[in-house]
Amino acid sequence: MDRLDPNRSATALRALKVLETLAESRAPLPVAKVAEAIGADRSTAYRMLMTLMGAGYVTRDERTRCYQLGYKVLTLGQSLLDNDERAELILACLRAISERTQETAHFSVLDRDAAVLVLRAKGTRLVTVDFQIGDRAPLHCTSIGKVLLAFHDMRLTEAVIARGLRKVGPNTITEPDRLRSALQRIRAQGFAYDDRELAADMRCVAVPVFEKGGVVRGGISLSGPASRYTPRTLAGLKDVVVAAARDLSRQLGGPG
Protein backbone atom coordinates (compact mmCIF):
# COMPACT_ATOMS: atom_id res chain seq x y z
CA MET A 1 0.00 0.00 0.00
CA ASP A 2 1.29 3.48 -0.83
CA ARG A 3 2.39 5.50 2.17
CA LEU A 4 0.08 8.42 2.92
CA ASP A 5 1.40 11.91 2.37
CA PRO A 6 1.73 13.42 5.88
CA ASN A 7 0.07 16.59 4.60
CA ARG A 8 -3.11 14.68 3.75
CA SER A 9 -5.76 13.68 6.26
CA ALA A 10 -6.37 9.95 6.39
CA THR A 11 -9.82 10.61 7.88
CA ALA A 12 -10.78 12.94 5.02
CA LEU A 13 -9.55 10.44 2.45
CA ARG A 14 -11.55 7.67 4.06
CA ALA A 15 -14.66 9.86 4.10
CA LEU A 16 -14.20 10.47 0.38
CA LYS A 17 -13.74 6.73 -0.09
CA VAL A 18 -17.09 6.19 1.65
CA LEU A 19 -18.78 8.51 -0.84
CA GLU A 20 -17.05 6.80 -3.76
CA THR A 21 -18.09 3.37 -2.47
CA LEU A 22 -21.72 4.40 -2.19
CA ALA A 23 -21.60 6.07 -5.60
CA GLU A 24 -20.25 2.92 -7.27
CA SER A 25 -22.78 0.59 -5.66
CA ARG A 26 -25.96 -0.31 -7.56
CA ALA A 27 -27.85 -0.66 -4.28
CA PRO A 28 -27.73 0.82 -0.76
CA LEU A 29 -25.00 -0.76 1.39
CA PRO A 30 -24.91 -1.95 5.02
CA VAL A 31 -22.20 -0.71 7.39
CA ALA A 32 -20.24 -3.96 7.07
CA LYS A 33 -19.85 -3.57 3.29
CA VAL A 34 -18.77 0.05 3.64
CA ALA A 35 -16.24 -0.88 6.32
CA GLU A 36 -14.80 -3.61 4.09
CA ALA A 37 -14.51 -1.26 1.12
CA ILE A 38 -12.65 1.47 3.02
CA GLY A 39 -10.46 -0.89 5.03
CA ALA A 40 -11.80 0.09 8.43
CA ASP A 41 -13.65 -1.53 11.30
CA ARG A 42 -17.41 -1.25 11.61
CA SER A 43 -17.38 1.40 14.32
CA THR A 44 -15.14 3.68 12.27
CA ALA A 45 -17.26 3.21 9.16
CA TYR A 46 -20.42 3.85 11.18
CA ARG A 47 -19.05 7.10 12.63
CA MET A 48 -18.11 8.32 9.14
CA LEU A 49 -21.53 7.41 7.77
CA MET A 50 -23.21 9.25 10.65
CA THR A 51 -21.09 12.34 10.03
CA LEU A 52 -21.83 12.32 6.30
CA MET A 53 -25.51 11.65 6.97
CA GLY A 54 -25.66 14.56 9.40
CA ALA A 55 -24.20 16.80 6.71
CA GLY A 56 -26.74 15.59 4.17
CA TYR A 57 -24.36 13.75 1.83
CA VAL A 58 -25.55 10.26 2.81
CA THR A 59 -29.03 8.91 3.57
CA ARG A 60 -30.15 5.75 5.34
CA ASP A 61 -33.09 3.49 4.64
CA GLU A 62 -34.60 3.05 8.11
CA ARG A 63 -36.15 -0.27 7.11
CA THR A 64 -33.03 -1.99 5.77
CA ARG A 65 -30.45 0.11 7.70
CA CYS A 66 -28.50 0.51 4.46
CA TYR A 67 -26.83 3.67 3.19
CA GLN A 68 -26.72 5.54 -0.10
CA LEU A 69 -25.71 8.95 -1.39
CA GLY A 70 -27.90 11.92 -0.57
CA TYR A 71 -28.86 14.43 -3.22
CA LYS A 72 -26.83 17.14 -1.48
CA VAL A 73 -23.77 15.80 -3.32
CA LEU A 74 -25.26 17.38 -6.44
CA THR A 75 -24.52 20.82 -5.04
CA LEU A 76 -20.79 19.99 -5.16
CA GLY A 77 -20.72 19.28 -8.86
CA GLN A 78 -23.88 20.46 -10.59
CA SER A 79 -22.13 20.79 -13.95
CA LEU A 80 -21.49 17.05 -14.00
CA LEU A 81 -25.22 16.53 -14.56
CA ASP A 82 -24.77 17.77 -18.11
CA ASN A 83 -23.40 14.32 -18.99
CA ASP A 84 -26.25 12.36 -17.38
CA GLU A 85 -28.84 11.00 -19.82
CA ARG A 86 -31.64 11.03 -17.24
CA ALA A 87 -30.82 14.60 -16.28
CA GLU A 88 -30.82 15.62 -19.94
CA LEU A 89 -34.30 14.17 -20.42
CA ILE A 90 -35.53 16.03 -17.35
CA LEU A 91 -33.87 19.27 -18.44
CA ALA A 92 -35.39 19.00 -21.91
CA CYS A 93 -38.81 18.64 -20.28
CA LEU A 94 -38.22 21.61 -17.99
CA ARG A 95 -37.08 23.75 -20.92
CA ALA A 96 -40.17 22.83 -22.91
CA ILE A 97 -42.40 23.82 -19.99
CA SER A 98 -40.48 27.05 -19.50
CA GLU A 99 -40.68 27.98 -23.19
CA ARG A 100 -44.41 27.36 -23.29
CA THR A 101 -45.29 29.12 -20.01
CA GLN A 102 -42.40 31.63 -19.67
CA GLU A 103 -42.14 30.39 -16.07
CA THR A 104 -39.11 28.89 -14.33
CA ALA A 105 -39.61 25.12 -14.09
CA HIS A 106 -38.08 23.13 -11.23
CA PHE A 107 -37.29 19.45 -10.69
CA SER A 108 -36.91 18.41 -7.05
CA VAL A 109 -36.25 15.12 -5.30
CA LEU A 110 -36.92 13.73 -1.85
CA ASP A 111 -33.93 13.90 0.49
CA ARG A 112 -34.64 12.84 4.06
CA ASP A 113 -37.06 15.44 5.44
CA ALA A 114 -37.14 17.88 2.53
CA ALA A 115 -37.65 18.35 -1.19
CA VAL A 116 -34.33 19.37 -2.77
CA LEU A 117 -34.16 21.36 -5.99
CA VAL A 118 -31.68 19.65 -8.32
CA LEU A 119 -32.52 20.92 -11.83
CA ARG A 120 -34.28 23.96 -13.26
CA ALA A 121 -34.97 25.85 -16.48
CA LYS A 122 -35.18 29.63 -16.16
CA GLY A 123 -38.22 31.44 -17.47
CA THR A 124 -38.50 34.96 -18.87
CA ARG A 125 -40.96 36.44 -16.38
CA LEU A 126 -39.67 39.59 -14.71
CA VAL A 127 -41.35 38.84 -11.38
CA THR A 128 -40.54 35.31 -10.22
CA VAL A 129 -39.85 33.20 -7.15
CA ASP A 130 -36.10 32.65 -7.37
CA PHE A 131 -35.24 29.22 -5.98
CA GLN A 132 -31.65 28.00 -6.36
CA ILE A 133 -30.16 24.56 -7.02
CA GLY A 134 -29.71 22.81 -3.69
CA ASP A 135 -32.51 24.71 -1.93
CA ARG A 136 -34.49 22.54 0.49
CA ALA A 137 -38.25 22.91 0.90
CA PRO A 138 -40.46 21.56 3.71
CA LEU A 139 -42.60 18.58 2.79
CA HIS A 140 -45.90 19.49 4.47
CA CYS A 141 -46.35 23.04 3.15
CA THR A 142 -45.12 23.02 -0.46
CA SER A 143 -46.70 21.59 -3.59
CA ILE A 144 -43.61 19.56 -4.45
CA GLY A 145 -43.21 18.36 -0.88
CA LYS A 146 -46.80 17.16 -0.75
CA VAL A 147 -46.42 15.39 -4.11
CA LEU A 148 -43.35 13.53 -2.86
CA LEU A 149 -45.12 12.62 0.37
CA ALA A 150 -48.25 11.49 -1.46
CA PHE A 151 -46.37 9.03 -3.64
CA HIS A 152 -44.03 7.74 -0.94
CA ASP A 153 -44.44 5.22 1.85
CA MET A 154 -47.01 6.42 4.41
CA ARG A 155 -44.44 5.95 7.15
CA LEU A 156 -42.71 9.07 5.88
CA THR A 157 -45.92 11.06 6.25
CA GLU A 158 -46.31 9.82 9.81
CA ALA A 159 -42.69 10.75 10.57
CA VAL A 160 -43.30 14.26 9.23
CA ILE A 161 -46.44 14.55 11.37
CA ALA A 162 -44.58 13.27 14.43
CA ARG A 163 -41.98 16.03 14.04
CA GLY A 164 -44.75 18.63 14.05
CA LEU A 165 -46.46 20.51 11.23
CA ARG A 166 -44.95 23.95 11.73
CA LYS A 167 -46.98 26.90 10.45
CA VAL A 168 -44.83 28.91 8.03
CA GLY A 169 -47.45 30.55 5.78
CA PRO A 170 -50.99 31.83 6.28
CA ASN A 171 -52.52 28.63 4.85
CA THR A 172 -50.04 26.02 6.12
CA ILE A 173 -51.71 22.71 6.93
CA THR A 174 -50.98 22.09 10.60
CA GLU A 175 -53.59 19.42 11.44
CA PRO A 176 -52.47 15.81 10.83
CA ASP A 177 -55.83 14.60 9.52
CA ARG A 178 -56.05 17.51 7.06
CA LEU A 179 -52.61 16.63 5.72
CA ARG A 180 -53.52 12.96 5.37
CA SER A 181 -56.69 13.89 3.49
CA ALA A 182 -54.80 16.31 1.25
CA LEU A 183 -52.24 13.64 0.35
CA GLN A 184 -54.99 11.14 -0.44
CA ARG A 185 -56.56 13.69 -2.78
CA ILE A 186 -53.18 14.38 -4.43
CA ARG A 187 -52.65 10.65 -5.07
CA ALA A 188 -56.08 10.47 -6.70
CA GLN A 189 -55.77 13.57 -8.90
CA GLY A 190 -52.05 13.36 -9.71
CA PHE A 191 -50.98 16.91 -8.81
CA ALA A 192 -50.71 19.29 -5.85
CA TYR A 193 -51.17 22.98 -5.21
CA ASP A 194 -49.57 25.23 -2.61
CA ASP A 195 -51.96 28.12 -1.97
CA ARG A 196 -49.88 30.47 0.19
CA GLU A 197 -48.88 27.60 2.46
CA LEU A 198 -45.15 28.39 2.43
CA ALA A 199 -45.30 32.17 1.94
CA ALA A 200 -48.02 34.80 2.04
CA ASP A 201 -47.55 35.88 -1.59
CA MET A 202 -46.81 32.59 -3.35
CA ARG A 203 -48.75 29.85 -5.07
CA CYS A 204 -47.30 26.72 -6.68
CA VAL A 205 -48.26 23.60 -8.57
CA ALA A 206 -46.36 20.30 -8.66
CA VAL A 207 -46.69 16.98 -10.47
CA PRO A 208 -44.92 13.65 -9.82
CA VAL A 209 -42.60 12.04 -12.35
CA PHE A 210 -42.87 8.25 -12.47
CA GLU A 211 -39.93 6.01 -13.32
CA LYS A 212 -39.47 2.26 -13.74
CA GLY A 213 -41.76 0.29 -11.49
CA GLY A 214 -43.92 3.34 -10.88
CA VAL A 215 -41.36 4.79 -8.48
CA VAL A 216 -41.53 8.54 -7.85
CA ARG A 217 -38.05 9.92 -7.16
CA GLY A 218 -38.92 13.50 -7.97
CA GLY A 219 -41.40 15.91 -9.44
CA ILE A 220 -41.81 19.09 -11.46
CA SER A 221 -43.10 22.34 -9.99
CA LEU A 222 -43.83 25.94 -10.92
CA SER A 223 -43.96 28.76 -8.37
CA GLY A 224 -44.94 32.37 -8.62
CA PRO A 225 -46.40 35.40 -6.85
CA ALA A 226 -50.01 34.94 -5.78
CA SER A 227 -50.97 38.16 -7.53
CA ARG A 228 -50.10 36.57 -10.87
CA TYR A 229 -50.71 32.92 -9.99
CA THR A 230 -54.47 33.28 -9.68
CA PRO A 231 -56.50 30.06 -9.31
CA ARG A 232 -57.42 30.25 -13.00
CA THR A 233 -53.80 30.78 -14.09
CA LEU A 234 -52.63 27.99 -11.80
CA ALA A 235 -55.13 25.57 -13.32
CA GLY A 236 -53.83 26.35 -16.81
CA LEU A 237 -50.22 25.87 -15.72
CA LYS A 238 -51.19 22.60 -14.08
CA ASP A 239 -52.47 21.21 -17.38
CA VAL A 240 -49.16 22.05 -19.08
CA VAL A 241 -47.06 20.46 -16.34
CA VAL A 242 -49.24 17.34 -16.10
CA ALA A 243 -48.92 16.69 -19.84
CA ALA A 244 -45.16 17.29 -19.82
CA ALA A 245 -44.61 15.09 -16.75
CA ARG A 246 -46.64 12.31 -18.37
CA ASP A 247 -44.37 12.36 -21.43
CA LEU A 248 -41.24 12.48 -19.27
CA SER A 249 -42.48 9.56 -17.21
CA ARG A 250 -42.81 7.46 -20.35
CA GLN A 251 -39.27 8.40 -21.43
CA LEU A 252 -37.94 7.32 -18.02
CA GLY A 253 -39.66 3.94 -18.25
CA GLY A 254 -42.56 4.74 -15.95
CA PRO A 255 -46.32 4.67 -16.52
CA GLY A 256 -47.51 7.67 -18.49
Average pLDDT of the residues in 169-186: 98
Which pLDDT score is estimated for 9? 65
Band of residue 77 on the pLDDT scale cut at 50, 70, 90: low
H helix or E strand, kind and range, residue 186: helix 176-189
What is d(CA 210, CA 148) in angstroms, rounded to the nearest whole number? Answer: 11
Output DSSP code: residue 141.
Answer: S
Q: What is the pLDDT of residues 110-140, one digit of tens each?
A: 987 899 999 999 999 877 787 888 888 999 9
Predicted TM-score (pTM) of this structure: 0.72
Residues 252, 117, 155: CA angle, nearest 5 degrees: 75
Which residues are CB-contacts of 246 (< 8 A; sequence separation ≥ 6)? Answer: 256
H helix or E strand, kind and range, residue 105: strand 105-111
Which pLDDT score is estimated for 135? 87
Residue 236 has pLDDT above 60, yes or no: yes
Q: What is the pLDDT of residues 80-121, one digit of tens each?
A: 554 578 889 999 999 999 999 999 999 999 987 899 999 999
Residue 166 has pLDDT above 60, yes or no: yes
Residues 223, 225, 228, 231: is their CA dihedral positive or negative?
A: positive
Q: Which domains, from first to last, does the chain contain?
A: 10-69 (1.10.10.10), 74-251 (3.30.450.40)
Q: What is the pLDDT of residues 6-55, one digit of tens each?
A: 445 678 888 889 998 998 887 899 999 999 999 999 999 999 999 999 98
Please state which of the ranges 13-22, 27-36, 70-79, 245-254 shows the lowest mean pLDDT: 70-79
